[in-house]
Amino acid sequence: DAGVIQSPRHEVTEMGQEVTLRCKPISGHNSLFWYRQTMMRGLELLIYFNNNVPIDDSGMPEDRFSAKMPNASFSTLKIQPSEPRDSAVYFCASSDSYNEQFFGPGTRLTVL
Amino acid sequence: DQQVKQNSPSLSVQEGRISILNCDYTNSMFDYFLWYKKYPAEGPTFLISISSIKDKNEDGRFTVFLNKSAKHLSLHIVPSQPGDSAVYFCAASKAGTASKLTFGTGTRLQVTL
């Protein structure tokens, strides 16, 4: 099993540009999570999906952030327009059980 | 409002000794707790968990203790090994929202030779 796949691994962009992060969950997992990691706040849950349906997006910081899961094997997190304070590592995780989540390697986003 | 707190950002322990990582939580609705380990440039990986109906869970060198009255849990690693050097995250979930985990800010453990 390839595990959770995220792309790109690194993204450097300029303020105001649109950024799209991608995630492929583990096959058979029915829950998908997007997290953001920063030094100050640690790992924050942004949004999670169950059976492709968004269940809780209360962690999405602003309207500039949006997430979609068009099918069971793909999800995107989009930031438009991006700002320097969005610089962080973004993780995607998936789960087939109540609690244990399997994380991808993360995307390190730098907004200049 | 940090509902899960890891007040020690870093910890240094000598190889072979015990490492104790602490975690406090404020929400009494949390009923399941997990520890994740993270190496640089990798995603967190699940280490060990404990349900609120227990006060201890052991897996090899790793033991998690839960004190519900104090809203405190700890992870003990005995003996500590250099490969244990990583960032450790504590996480918690509430009954009825089993999929949603609330993470602490992490503790960086360094095991020295």
Mean pLDDT estimate for chain A: 93
Question: For residue A103, which of B28, B78, B91, B52 has the smallest C-alpha distance?
Answer: B91
Distance from CA of B89 to the nearest CA of A (A): 9
* pLDDT surpassing 70 at residue B98: no
Angle at CA of residue A7, ends A23 and A107, nearest 5°: 95
Put simply, the answer to whether B105 touches A42 (Cβ < 8 Å) is yes
Distance of CA A59 to the CA centre of its chain: 11
Mutate to test the interface with B, among A26, A35, A43 (most CBs of B within 10 A): A43
Distance from CA of A52 to the nearest CA of B (A): 14
The pLDDT of residue B74 is 98
The pLDDT of residue B100 is 81
Range from A96-110, B45-59, B80-94 carrying the lowest mean pLDDT: A96-110
Flag whether residue A56 sits within 8 Å of chain B, measured between CB atoms: yes
Distance from CA of B81 to the nearest CA of A (A): 24
Residue in chain B nearest A47 by alpha carbon: B100
Instruction: Give the model confidence (pLDDT) of B70-83 as tens digits.
Output: 999 999 999 999 99
Q: pLDDT band at A99, cuts 50/70/90? A: low
The pLDDT of residue A98 is 63
Mutate to test the interface with A, among B100, B102, B107 (most CBs of A within 10 A): B100
Instruction: Give the model confidence (pLDDT) of A41-57 as tens digits.
Output: 889 999 999 999 999 89
Pairing of the two strands B56-59 and B62-67:
antiparallel
Flag whether residue A106 sits within 8 Å of chain B, measured between CB atoms: yes
The pLDDT of residue A76 is 98
Range from A44-53, B54-63, B97-106 carrying the lowest mean pLDDT: B97-106
Distance from CA of A80 to the nearest CA of B (A): 25
Bridge partners (DSSP) of residue A97 are none
B82: left (phi over 0), alpha (psi -120 to 50) or beta: alpha
B4-5: strand order across its sheet? B4-5, B19-25, B72-77, B62-67, B56-59
Residue A8 CA to residue B12 CA, distance in Å, equals 33
Angle at CA of residue B92, ends B84 and A59, nearest 5°: 110
The pLDDT of residue A100 is 82
Q: Calculate what percentage of chain A has a pLDDT beyond 90.
A: 80
Contact B101, A45 (CB under 8 A): yes
Q: Is the peptide bond before A81 cis (omega within 30 degrees of 0)?
A: yes
Range from A9-13, B58-62, B80-84, B93-97 carrying the lowest mean pLDDT: B93-97
Q: How far lies B31's CA from each of A7, B7, B40, B67, in Å? A: 34, 21, 29, 12
